[in-house]
Each structure stands twice: as C-alpha cells, then as structure tokens.
Structure 1
Amino acid sequence: MFSEAHPDSQRADRILASIRREEARSGRGLLKIFFGMAPGVGKTYAMLEAAIQAADKGVEVVIGVAESHGREDTMRLIGRLPRLPMKKVAYRGVEMEEFDLEEALRLKPRLILVDELAHTNVPGLRHKKRYQDVEELLAAGIDVYTTLNVQHLESRADTVQDITAAPVQETVPDSVLAEADCIQLVDIAPDQLRARLREGKVYGAPQASTALDHFFRESNLTALRELALRIMAEKVDHELTEVRTISGDRSIWRSGERLMVAVGPSPFSARLVRWTRRMAYALNAPWIALSVDTGVPLSPEQQQRLDANLELARRLGAEVVVMPGSDLAETLLRMAFLRNVSQIVVGKPQESYLWGLLRPISLVDKLVKGSGQIDIYVVPAAPGTGRSRWKSWHRERERNGRDYWLAAGVTAAVTVLGLLMAEFTGYFAPGFLYLAGVVGLGFFIRSRWAVLMAAALSALLWNLLFIPPVLTFKIERLEDALMCVFFFLVALSTGRLTSRLRVREQEEREREKKTNALFLYSRAIASAADVPSLVSVAVAQMSQIMGVRMAAMVPVPVSPGLKLCETGEAYPMDEKEWGVASWCFKHRQAAGRFTDTLPVAEGFYFPMMSGERCMGVLGVKVEDGERLTVGQRDLLESMGAQLALALEREEWRAERAQRRLMEESEKLHRSLLDSVSHEFKTPLAVIEGGCEKLAGRAAAAEEREEFTEIMAAARRLRRLVKNLLDVTRLESGALRPRLDWCDLGDVVECALAATREARRNHPVSVSLPPDYPLVKADFSLMEQVLVNLLLNACVHTPAGTPMTLKGGADPVRGQVWLDVHDLGPGIPPELAESIFERFRTTRPGGLGLGLPIVRGFMEAQRGTVTLVPVPAGTCFRLVLPLVEHDHVPEE
C-alpha cells in the first residue's frame, strides 16, 4: 500500500530523471543483453550473428570472451571475428584463462563481445565479477554485447532454485538488466531444447543424460521460459509507462489489459473490489485500487471503512494507490492515462429521481465524456446497500454547514456595505463588492455548493436592491441584464477556481510536510553512529512526526527472539504484545490493532523489510478512539523501510570490520606459522641426526631405545612442521604443482616405503588394475597425499587394523580414482565435510592439518578427495581427471 504523488509532479520528476540519465549516458557505451531461459537456447550464437552483421556494416568488432562449449556452429562464427587474447592467471598452481580487461581498454574497439555476464573472475583480477568488467567497458565508451540466463538474476535466483532444486552460485544485480539499452530474448521451445541436449549440442553425453533428468526437465524449462517472458514483459511495461509519462500522451495503447477500480469509504466499495478481482483474474490482467483523497475530513466510521476496503484490495492482489485530488472524475482519468489503464470500474449507487434532476452531470457521465478509448464499467449496487443521493447531499450539507453560514454572512455584510455606498457610487460599485466577496469566500470555504449559493445570492440581491427599478427583479436595460448574467457566471467560476486553488495549496502543503518529515528523518538516522543510537533516534523522530507512541524490536544475534530497543517513551510490552510482535517478525506481515490478524492487541505492528530480509518490527500505539489513516500507515511503512535499510547498512559495516579484522588476524597467523616453521627445520634436523649417531654408538640397549624414541619424536615434529609449511603454501598461493605424466603405481610404492616404519602394525594390500592409465599430476604432491592418508589411518585405528589401496578408471566420466580404505572405527556421516577443515581433529593432541593438506594438494592438481560411504571403516577416494593422450613417452 502506498501513496502516489500528484501526476503532474510525477511526470516532471520522470522527465528530470530521464534528462539526468541521458546526461549520465553521454560518452557511455551501449549495452545489449541476449537473454535466455537456460543454457543451450542459442544466446552466444545470436550474439555472434548480431556482431557479424555489425562488422559487415563497418563497425570495429572484437571478441573479448566467447564460449563455444565445443559446438561447431558457434566455433565457425567465432572464427569470422578478431579475438582478443585471453589473460592467463595462475590460481592455486593451475593456469586459467580470463577476460583481459586492460587489453580491451587499451585497444578500445567500437564493439566488444563479452559472453557469460554472471561469470566470477579468478581471484587476483581487477574485479570480482565479469559484469563489473562490463561496467568499466561501458564507462570507457565501448559498446558491449553479452549473454545472460534468467537464473543469474539476483531477484530470481531463489525462484529458480525452488523450481529446479539446483543452487544458483553466480548472480548479477537486477540493475544491470534495468540499465541495459537493449535486451533481446533468445527463446526456444522446451522440447526443442531437450532435443538439442540429446544430440549433444549443449553438454557431453554423460552430462546431458544427467541434465535431462534434473535441470532440463520439461516442467522446469516451461517454468523458466514463463519467468523469462514475464521479466521481458515487466521491462517493456516500465519503459512504456515512462515513455507515456514523459510524452504526456493521453491515448490508451491496448498492449495489455489493466483494470482500475475507484475505492472510497462507501460499504459498496468492497463489492466493487471483489468484482474487479474476478474480472482481472478472468483476463489475467493486473489491477489498481485507487482512493482519491479530496481533503474532506472523514468521520471515524468512514475512515475505518476506507481502510478496510483498501486492505481488502491489497489482500486480493491489487496495487493500492492513494492520490490527492479535488475532483474525483478528473483524478481517476489522470491516473488511468498515466498508467495506461484500459478499463475503469465504478459503482452505480441507487439515487432518487430528484437528485438526478438537481445534478444531471454525474461521476459516470464525466468519466464517459473524458474516457476516450478507456472502457467504463458501471456496477450496480446490491439491493439495500445503496443510499439515497439526496440523503448523501443532505449529510454533506450538514457537514459543511459552516461554509453555508459563512457564505450567507459575507453576502449579507457586502449587501449592507453596498447599501451604504450606493447613493454615492451608483449601482455598479456594489456589483464589484459582491464579486470580491465571492472570490474571497473561495479562500476560506471548500464546498462548491456554498460558493454557488453565494454567487446566486449576490446576483439576485444586486438585481433586487441596486439595479433599477429597485426592489423588483425586472431589468429594463439590456446591458444591465447582460451585466447581471455575466456577473453571476464570473462570480461562480472565479469563486470555484479560487476554492480549487486553495485545495491544491493545502494538498501541496501536506505533501511538502510529508517530504520534509522524511528528509529530517533520513538526515537523523544517517548521523547515527551505531545500531542502538540509530534505532533510538529513528523511533524518537517517528514518534515526534506521527504524534504516537512507538517501539522498535530487533532480532537478537544469539537467539531467534526479539529485543525491545530504547524508545524514549513508555511502551509497555506484556506477553500478548510480544506474541503479536513475534508473529509479525516470523510471517513478515502486519498484525495487531487495525488488522485482521490478532486484532485484540493494543499496538499495531509491522515488519521493517529490506528486500527479502526482515530487520525487525515497529510497534505503534495510538490513543483510545483514534485510528491510523491510510496516509499515516504509508508514511510509517516508508520510514520503517528506511530504518531497515539503515540497520542492514550498519550490519554490513560491522561485518566488513569483522572481516577486515579476521583477514589481518589470518595474515598475522600465517606469518607466525611460516616463521616458526622455518625456524624449527634446522634444529630438528640437528636433533634427529645427533640422536641417530648417538644410538649407533650406545652400547646399552636401554640407551639405544631412549635415543630411538627421541629420534621418533623429532620425526613426528618434523612432519608437523612440514604440514604447517604446506598449509602456508596453500593459503598464500605459492604452491605451483608441476604436472607431468605419472604412474600411480609408482606413487603408491614410494608412499608405502616412506611410511614403512609408522605402519609396522598395519598390514596393507594393494589392488591396482594392470591397465591402470597414466595421469597428469605432480609426483611429489601425490606421494605426500598418500603418505598423509596412510599416517592418518595408522594414528586413528587400533594396531593390527588392515588397510587396502584400490584403484580404477571411469572412461565415461573421464576420471581415474584411488581408494585408501581402512577397517577402523570409521567417521560419522555428519563429519564427512568438516574433517577437511583446518585444525579439526577427532583425537586429543592432534592439530588436524593432514586432511586439509590432502584436499589442497588434490585441488591444486585439478582433482578431488571425498569420503566414500562403506559398510565398515573409513574410505577416502582420490580422483584425478583422465587426460586423453596420443603418445606417452617410453620412459
């Protein structure tokens, strides 16, 4: 629910915003996005075709990044355009290729192609995400063609995950799509895309089979296609609204149906809302519920009924708009032309015949006359729900009785003054006095009927008391008759115009008051130093602006509950109020007083939303007998949303400070580990060598045994220091694996030899196939991986526990695997991932570095290590990619 500014001011704001955007875009490149529902629809192909067409027209085109994914048609198109060399980046010992932003900025072509906008760059480049590279290219004046799937939009990632059950790792902000100069939808039927998948045009055979059964199911693709089409329709709709607002076009373009219903304090409005909802559902069209705030004060009963009608419309899915305006028909038509509404729904209340004679031009007549191409639906009231228009006018007259008495009094005073001065000035001067009186009344009264009465009385009294012959309504001279008629018309129109200007002035003052309140509120919360002061200042400002008691409740970090912040005023919270606030926070919906949810509460509670997150709850308590108007609720929700953004900003600031502190701590930690580890190496080597010499010279068996134990302890400490050094190498990125053809059988033999002494009480059996393929790996790193796993098994299993090394190959998946299996007590399934974390150990005295080093070494060689479920014991599986090779060196 929200209030919308006056259409004229809104149009001016949009024109100004458009001018600012055009100024900001001067010298900026154009962005064209090829948008699709899923991989494989042909986005890259369409982008390349468009680029080739531009190149044929003389445009300088360069390919920055274009992923062919092995498709021959795409590779053929890539070969027709010049291509920017990729930048080679080393990450964890693996050389990767990334988009070279610096070279693109140096060459500065007219158009550059950057595929896969949502891609995450390798750490160490200028930007973390590829869309940031594109933004820098655009700022440099380079046009960019790029591609994007619907699942990569930030606001739709959760929806796509719910549809496909596949997590979305890479996203781009929606602002990138909103600021694009052109978006081309690349669409294909789901069955055609699945056929392309089966033919191997999207993924390889093993991946395609899995994808068909999961992400690329026909139901998933249909839902993703609908989502992509809806996003395109929403963008086109926003562009259409902006174009119409800026151009001021009052014609209706039936590019899509949109309904609007007029909602007021009448009991009949609820029926109108339900009728419009049914019609919008039948047409599958959006609809707007518009309430016109004429400035006339409503009684508590009417205000309550209006709030209930608007709340009903909101619950039924309408876009609720409250707009100020003195003329109901004019405001309805202005909003309809502004929002491209195709159908307006109004009620036809029951009215008496006499009222129809007194007021022949009704709301429906005005709408029909000014509607142009808009359809007007007039819904009759249900029997018994309508009231007589004459009674309604009578109630309005009673409500505006002060205006009528003021009009009569001013007319009488002007008459007395005219009688006193008539014999000195003639009968023309009183006519001007009457005219001045009617114009002056327009500044003080709101009722048009009072203005009409004053104009009519002035014309009649002027004719009766001043125009000859006096005390008769007879007018002898033609010019006097014309003067009297035109006097009435001028007085009526001028008085009415003055009254309307006064109403507009009051509306602008109210709008200025609201804007000023929001400005002061925003400035106050921007100056807060921390969360407690932020909440305290915000609540105090809201209480002062709204004149109500308020409280703010924010979530407690260590528990799922809420805590009451300082408010500066008494706001008692009993168990019932806490229950309502907790329900509001959990369900992210308003609750409490003035709502249909837990209405017995003393306070009105609504969530402070920032996007999809609820940052807390605001509570409002008003005096007995008072209500929150629609405008007050809108203002409160606007200020609550600003407070939620400020709280989220403070949360991000605290997280950044914590992350910076952790980074500095981690840097110091690595430096200490590196220094201590290097300082330990030489003394340990001396201790180990000395013990070995002393053990050889010792004559007594007890002495030899003591020296042997010291030497074993020194070796364990040396392994610990080596592990610490390996950890620092992994984290600093200094590890550079030398990948070469390796025989895993030789690696196993070397690892067994290195651990012979440690596994004296653990028999080991090796089972490797005779045709075990060679792999591309670092021999020393693979040996260290096996050594760590074997030593880990020896430490965590009882003496005599057997171990098995078993290998194999999977040509379909392109993998070579090696299992290290022991029959010890095993590892619980819930620890399957955590055991690979640093300093996570299951035995006292251990540092928990062996398995993290194993994972780091395997990932550096483009491999993986996982814990495989087995009936007994523990089984670690090492997996390396199976690289195709035509010739293996004989050595």
Structure 2
Amino acid sequence: MATVTPPAHLTGRKQGKLTIFASYFLGTGKSYAMLEMAVQARQAGLDVVIGLLSCEQWPQTKLLAETFEALPRKTAVRDGQTDYGLDLDACLKRAPELILVDDLSHINVDDSRHMKRYQDIEELLKAGVDVYTTLNVQHIESIQDAIYSILGSSASERIPDRVFDQATQVEYIDIEPERLQQRLLQQKKGELLSGCTLSQLSALREIGLRRCADRAASYSQGPQSRMEYRTREHILACLSSAPSNEKIIRTAARMASAFRCGFTALFVETKEFQWMSPTDKERLQANIHLAQQLGASIETVYGDDVAYQIAEFSRLSGVTKIVLGRSGIPHRMLIRKPSLTERLIELIPELDIHIIPDNGSNGRLAAKHREIMRLPTLSILDLLKSALLLILATLIGFLFYHFGFTEANIITLYILGVMLVSISTKSSVCSFIASFVSVLTFNFFFTEPRFSLHAYDSGYPVTFLVMFLASLLTGSLASKLKSHAKRSAQVAWRTKLLLETNQNLQKARTQEEIISVTAKQLLKIFQRDIVAYRIIEEKPVTPEIFLTDSASSPDRYTSDKEREVAQWVITNNKRAGAGTENLSDSCCTYLSIRTGKQIYGVVGIAASDKPLDSFETSILLSVLGESALALENQKNLEEKEAAAVWAKNEQLRANLLRSISHDLRTPLTSISGNASNLLSNGDLFDAETKKQMYTDIYDDAMWLINLVENLLSVSRLEEGRMNLHVSTELIDEVVAEALRHINRKSAAYRLKIQNNEEYVLAQIDAKLIVQVIINIVDNAIKYTPAGSEISIGWKREGNYIYISIADNGPGISDQAKPHIFDMFYSASNQIADSRRSMGLGLALCKSIVNAHGGEIMVTDHLPHGSIFTFSVPAGEVELHE
C-alpha cells in the first residue's frame, strides 16, 4: 500500500488541532453538532471537507452533510456488512484546512495503514490538518472496568487516554437519559439502546461527565503546579500475566491522571517465567502494551522474591503509591506463608499500598489462571535424569553398605543425589519427587527389615522426616542458586553487549560508521536480518542490509513498501511495521534512532515470523539509545569543527581587512599625491623631479600589483583551488625569470648568482616557483640596508633541488624565526619600511613549496645575515622519440 507525502504547503505548518464532540451514548447528536460547528468554520473562510461520516440513518444530519465536499472512502465487507473506512492518502493529498472524521475509536478496515482510526487522525494532525471527530466516552481505555460493571462487557473499540486528554477542545453533548430514550423510540431506533435501562444510561452519563471533568482539571493547573505534583507522587503498578491485571493497570493510570504524577509499570521476572505458557506470555505482552498506551514507563527486574524486588525498586525510584491485586482475603491459619501485601507492608511501611480485589468474572478467570500456574511442569528428559541419578546413588549406597559404612553416610549420599537432580533438571518439581523417592528407597534397601517399607527401629520415622526435609531444602537451594546464576549470566550478558556496543560506537567517526556498527551489533545479538537507513534531509537513503544467511536474497527488504514504512517512521517519529498497529503487514519492525524529536536513522529488524519479546525489546531500545547518543555526539563534534573553521576564517578576514586598511593607505596616498602634483603643477617641476615622481608612482603601483597577486594566491590556497601545472624546468632559467620581475630598488643591491653545476632540472610549476623567489628576494631588499649583498644558489642532493637565497643584512632574531612563515606576521625593522609589509609573502612561499612536496627554512648567515632555503623535486631529461 502506497503512502502519500503531505503537500509542500503543509510541511511547514504547525501541528493540527483536534476537536472531539463527545457524549455518553449513540443518538445524542454528536455528528450534527460537529457539522453545525463546521458550518461556522466554513463561513469564517476555512477549507472544510468530510473525510468520513456515517449519517445514513439520521436524515437531518445527512441533509446538512450534503452541503460539504466529501472525500472518497475505503470499503470492505466485514461479517456480511459493508464497512467504510477513511482514505488517509486521499485526505493528505487533498490537504484541507479542516476535515471531519466520524467515530474516533473505530477499528480500520483491512489493508489500511493503521489498525485504529485515531492513528489516522494523529497523522492528519501531524501534517497540519485540523480535525473534528466524534466519540462515545465509554470507548476510553482507562474506564473500561467501570463500563464492564455497568454494561456487563467492555468496549471492543478503544482509544488511549492520551488522545482524549491531549485534544485541543472537547465539546460534551449532553442530554437527559429519559429524553434520549424517548428520541430513539420515537424515531424507531430503539435497537440502538441494546437493552440499556435508564439507570444504565444515567450511570454512563455520570461517567462521561466525570471523565470530561477530570480532563478539564488536569489542564486547570499551571506548569509549575504540575511539576510540583510530579515531584511529590509516583504511582507503581505491578504487571503480571493474570487476566485481572488489566483492571490494576487502569486503576493505577486513573490515579496517576488524578495526581498528575509519574506512572511506572513493573514486571518481576521469576524463574517460573521460562515455563510460562504461550497464552500467558501473550497476555503479559498485552498487559505491557496496555500500560504503555496509558502512559506508563515499563520496567523489568529479576528475582524470585517478588516482594523484595518491588520494595527495592520502589525505594530506588521514589515510588509513593503501589497498586496491586488480590483475589479475596486468605483464610487465617496457624502456619501460613505471608501474602505479597503483608510482605510489602513489612518491607516498605512508609508507602501507600492499594489493593484491587478481583471480583466477578475477572476473579474467576484469575483463580483459574493461578490454578494453571501451579500445575507442575515436567518433561520426560528431566524424569529420566532424576531416575538415573537416584539409581546411581542407590548403587553407590550398596557399596557403602557392603563395606560397613554407617547409615548417615548413605543418607548424605542420597541428599547429594537430590542436589544433583536439582542442578541438572529444569523443573523444581523434580527435586521434590527425588526427595520423596530417596526416602522410600533408603527405607526399602538399607533399613531393617531390608527390601520392605517397614521399619523396626522406632527412631526411623524421625530419620526419614529429617532426611526428607534436608533433601528438599538442599534441592530447593540448589535450584534457586541455579536460577540466580542463570539470571545473573543473562544480566551480565546484556551489560557486556551494551558495553561492547558503546566501545564500538566510540571508535566510529562518521554517521555511516555509527549506523553500520549499530546494525552489526543488532545482527549479532538477535540473529535476525537487519535493515539500516541513514537520513539525509528527512529522507531515507539506500539502506544497508545485514543478513543472517549470506545466501538469502535481500530484495524483500528493499521494496518500495518497506521504504515507505521507514519514511513513515521518520515523518511520525513512531515505531511501525510487523508487530505494531502501524503498517503491520511489512517484513520488519522499524524503529527510529532518535534523541527527543531529532531522528538520525531508522533500523528495521525482521519480526514477521516471530515478534520480539519484552527482554529483546528492552535490549533493542538500549542499543538504539546508545547509537542515538553517539550520533548526537558526532553531530555536535561536526558542528564544533565547523564553528572552529568559521571562526578561523572570520579571524583571517579580520586580519586581512585590518592589514589592507593600514598598508594600502601609504602607497595610495603617494600615488594620488604625486599624480595630483603632476596634473596641477607639472610645469613647475624640472625633468629630474618629474622622473623621480614617475618612478615613485611606478614603484607604488608595482607594490600594489604584487600585493594583489599574493592575496589572490592566498585565497586560492585557502579554498583549495590552486592547481599545480608541473613540468621539467631548468633552475637557472627560473631564477633569471624571477630576477627580471624583482623590485626596482634591487639596483641599489649587489645580486650574485652562485652555481657550480651547468644544468639542474626540477619538476615544478615554474610560475609559482618564480613567485617564491621574487617574494624572498623582495623580502631581503626590504629588510637589509642599501648596498647589501644578496646571493642566489642551488644544488642537487638526491631527489631534491635545494635553492638558497642569502643576504648579509642584520639577520632575523631567534624569537621571530618560528613565526616568520606565519600569515600576517612581519618582523619590525627600523632600517626598512615595515609598514609596507602585510606578512603574506613568506606564508605564500611556504604554501607553494609544501604543495610541491618540499620544505622551506631560514638559518643564520654568518657572520651576519639570513639564508632562506627551500627544496623542490628534482627532474630528469625527457627523451622523445
């Protein structure tokens, strides 16, 4: 089934507003009131359409509905009757400002994207469409126990309380029960009453009014008040596989809503959990899902002492109220095991404990459930193991008896056998049977008279009793230790996996690596096929497929249908796919890798054959949480690096502007001043003065040209746009070309070329190396007094040519040498005009030389002066046929 992306004009809109027209029963006029308000909205200029409205049996409502545009509907035949469903894709494509959708709690027709209609409405709201809808309050999840007590059955179609509580507006359509009954009878629609009496209608009305009042009260408090409530109260509901557990969860949810506080649902996993029947496991999963729908945070702890685990969790989590169930009050006996409630009162007397009795049919189901849970679970293999161990103990007992060992040694041997039975078998019933059989066997084979169950010694009954108790106790302790060891190994395995995942994620450096590491870790943990999507601009890119069997085909995971499910998860920030209520006909269960509302990726895990259980789901969420944190850290690191680069570029721009504004002033002033004098008073100057003024203008202009060349070269280097055009060149020709372009002031200096070799070839970009030589020679002219000697020489050493430019000026201080090649650095020198230097020349020389794969350095020229030396790759003579 295809999914439709919301139109562009909707993607920028805020969350749509939900208005619910609620009442307590059919026929109160909810749909008509909704249409009347829609008429007002249309008159106000809104674009209003009907997405789905069932009004065939109400003539007035149908007449008013015909004045609106109606979108196409989905149809399906269910139980011999035609059922109509909302066409969500058509609604998103039409994209109205306001849409009318009847019956919020309805279950969708087959082949729909979502299982429930309220999920369709949530997607419309997320797309920015306002929604009007109707609801009978008896379909709200948390009040199903009250509905059951009134009508004798719960509503089959339900909505989570959050949908009702988070609606923008709830319009309660109220009518007296007597008037409602008369209206339905007069319009010959008495079958809609379904046998409901006036008292039942009155009770439903009262529940509806109270539920709306609770919703209003929850929003009458300000944020500060709600925060104070949360810090003061914390409700804990105990989860189990009992049918009556639904009532406990709903009661706790109503309490949490009334107190506006935290709500946690706790499941204590004991050793009996591994032998729980598939039906009970399904019921437990349904109870966990119900608690999640009602806003609970699901937690799991491990241990056989349920009361102790609940008490410790309550202390650590700040729980203030505990809600649990009990079927009736146990009869008082002289010796009995304390109930769960009594243990909790003893362990945590400071907490409020609310007991929800299991009455009626739920109580009978719960009692039957407990009887089923108490039935022993045995396997043929466990019985064979027990029999073999007892036979082995008996044979060794015969040896002890033959060699004259005392009966105490044989008794100890049987106790050891019972302990081995407890360790080697899965069922705790085996240790009980082995304890009983070992007493009978010892009596039959090793007490007088032998080979008989009679006993002559009057002390034997006590011996048998002590032996039985000792065997049973040691067997129970061994079984309990084995169970604890297994759970400890399970917890250690989970901790190891999470630690390993965290370590692997820390080594990843990119988003692709982090998501890939996450998928590989999930493949290792669950041994299921994994699909991993990265997200670019809120769109999933081509997925990575990780298969358990490399020979299998990944095509079913890359279909358009699977990609649409992943896109839906990205758009709605909710899980979807197999095992969920959204797009459940896909191959995988898809979950987002997210922190809050920020989604970094989507992971799909194959679950069409076998859904994930609660333990696997908790591990999956933990791994995805670690991955989300790693992706968030990686994103923050990239933003930090980008900010550092931006700050560096800003600093570079600031320094460049500051240098330009300072250093351009002098040559521009000189050029403009000399040009103005020549234009205004040219006739007053003699030929020699004019020549000097022309020379100054030329020198200043050439300085500006060289500055612009350096600036352009620096900008190209910073942007990575400087491309080398390397060729084989003669060094003496490159030096000669550079000397033709140096400063005119070089005439006042002695330039010497020192070369002992006739031909030296280099693999260089000649134009750039010419600029390097010009900049170094100009730097020597600038910082040495007139008449100084500047010498240029080169030689080949190995695969490099070393070019040196030396002067006999004042030299460079040791403090300045480490910074001489830094950008915008210029050493002050009183002999030369340091104000005419921007500190770009030598920095550009270093960049060009490094781009050639060489190095540049500065050393002292004894007795005084400096030597700049740089290296470039040597070249060979190219022969052409």
- TM band (smaller chain): 0.3 to 0.5
TM-score (norm 2): 0.46
Point out which structure has higher relative CO (alpha carbons under 8 A, 6+ apart).
1
TM-score (norm 1): 0.46
Q: Which has the larger radius of gyration?
A: 2
